[in-house]
Structure formats: C-alpha cells, structure tokens
A = this chain, B = another copy of it.
Amino acid sequence: MNSSTDARRDALRTALTDIAEEQISRAGLSSLKARKLATDAGCSVGAIYNVFDDLTGVVFAVNSRTFACLGETINAALASEKNATAQEMLVIMSRAYLSFATEHETSWRCLFELPVGSEDNVPDWYLKEMNDLFALVSAPLREIYSDLPEEDIQLLARALFSSVHGIVQLGLDRRLSGVPVPQIERMIELVLLNLSSPGGTTSNQNAPGDADLA
C-alpha cells in the first residue's frame, strides 16, 4: 500500500469518526447506522469496513475522543486548584466528571453502552486510554492510603470511580423529576469526604459543605 492510499484511508477514518461523533453527541449511540454514516461520508457501506473492523470500531474511535476530552476537563480542574489535598483532588475530579457528564451527556453515555461482553475484543490502545484515566484517580489514593497494597489501590480507584459514576448516572437518569445537580455534588462529597483520611479524622470533621473547597 503506498502513502497516498494510506492518506486516503486516514482521511476516510477521520471523516467517518467526525460524522459518527456528531451523530452520537446529538442523538446517542443507538442512532448510529452504517448506511447513514456511509451516505453522509459519501462512501459505500463497504468502504467503512475497509478502514474499521466493524461499527464498534467506529465507536471506539469516537469514545477515544471522549476519553481525551474528559481527561482534559479533569486535568484542567485539577490545575485550577493547585493546593488541593489528595482527598480534595478526588472531589475536584468527581465534580469535573459530573460536569462533563452533564454537558456531554450522550457522548458520555456512549462510553458505557458498548454491548455486554464486547470488552473481550477491546483493542489494547483503548484499554490503555481508559487506564490512563484511572491513573488520575489512583495517584491521590496512593497518597491517602500509603499502606494499602498497589492491587487494592487499583481496585479502590475503580470502586470509587464506579461509586461516583453510579451517583452521577442515577442522578442524571432522574433529572426530569428534578434532582438538582448541586444535590448530586453534595452526595458525591458525602461519600468521598467521609472516606477515612490517614490521620483518622471523624466523620463530622470530615464532612464539609461546599465552602471547604470554594
């Protein structure tokens, strides 16, 4: 394959990812259809499968952009609070996660809507990008729980992520019945700030309101 063919393939990959990203962010993963994707890209349906293994491959490419955007959001939030303690960093990251989920809801949901079991076929680069995001959570945990073995740090990072994700998801799922976002923030803080800190502070000293991070 020569370099002009490579360039054409790259251009088609980018075009298809652009279109799929726009479609998913507007109407969700279920709205993504190969035929419409091909029409919008001005190619045949078969051409999609020349540059992606399958439609899931297109979704990986879109989610990869969402990972990058989420990572930037979290890093920007952390950068704006340079003196935060490790525990406060967890809250800052969670708030950034909540705000990202609220502002990019369909793209964010798409991260979790890959068919059950498809993780067996997840490409290594995709897993690496996901693990890089988990590493943001592990770093402050390693500081807070310096005695915990690395295996437990990894598990705790995933557990805390799942916890915050659960709060955000159940909160947003019920948004029309009026659970306001500040209440979701407060729920996250109640969980994260009641985690024991190394000094072993009591629950009450350890459950501040918004003011503590303002």
A61 to chain B: closest CB distance in Å? 20
CB within 8 Å of B: which of A185-213? 186-188, 190-191, 194-204, 206-207
Q: Evaluate contact between B162 and A167: CB separation under 8 angstroms.
A: yes
Q: Is residue A166 within 8 Å, beta carbon to beta carbon, of the partner chain?
A: yes
Query: A120-B177, A190-B156 in contact; A202/B200 too (CB < 8 A)?
Result: yes
Closest B residue to A189 by CB, please name it: B159
Interface residues on A, range: 35 or more
Q: Is residue A126 within 8 Å, beta carbon to beta carbon, of the partner chain?
A: no
Complex formed: what's the CA distance from A206 to B194 in Å? Answer: 13
Contact partners of A144 in chain B: CB under 8 A: 203
Q: Is residue A164 within 8 Å, beta carbon to beta carbon, of the partner chain?
A: yes
Q: Is residue A102 within 8 Å, beta carbon to beta carbon, of the partner chain?
A: no
A186 to chain B: closest CB distance in Å? 6
A162 to chain B: closest CB distance in Å? 4
Contact of A166 among B164, B195, B197, B202 (CB under 8 A): B164
Q: Evaluate contact between B117 and A177: CB separation under 8 angstroms.
A: yes
Closest B residue to A165 by CB, please name it: B166
Contact partners of A195 in chain B: CB under 8 A: 191, 194-196, 203
Q: Evaluate contact between B148 and A203: CB separation under 8 angstroms.
A: yes
Considering residues A163, A195, A200, which has the most beta carbons from chain B within 10 angstroms of its beta carbon? Answer: A163
Q: Is residue A71 within 8 Å, beta carbon to beta carbon, of the partner chain?
A: no
Contact partners of A196 in chain B: CB under 8 A: 194-196, 200-203, 206
* A–B complex contacts, Cβ < 8 Å, 19 sampled: A116-B176, A119-B174, A119-B176, A122-B177, A145-B204, A148-B203, A148-B207, A155-B187, A156-B190, A158-B187, A159-B167, A165-B166, A166-B166, A166-B167, A166-B169, A191-B191, A195-B203, A196-B201, A196-B203
Given contact pairs A195-B196, A196-B196, A199-B202, enumerate 5 new A-B contacts (beta carbons under 8 Å). Answer: A112-B173, A116-B173, A117-B177, A156-B187, A200-B202
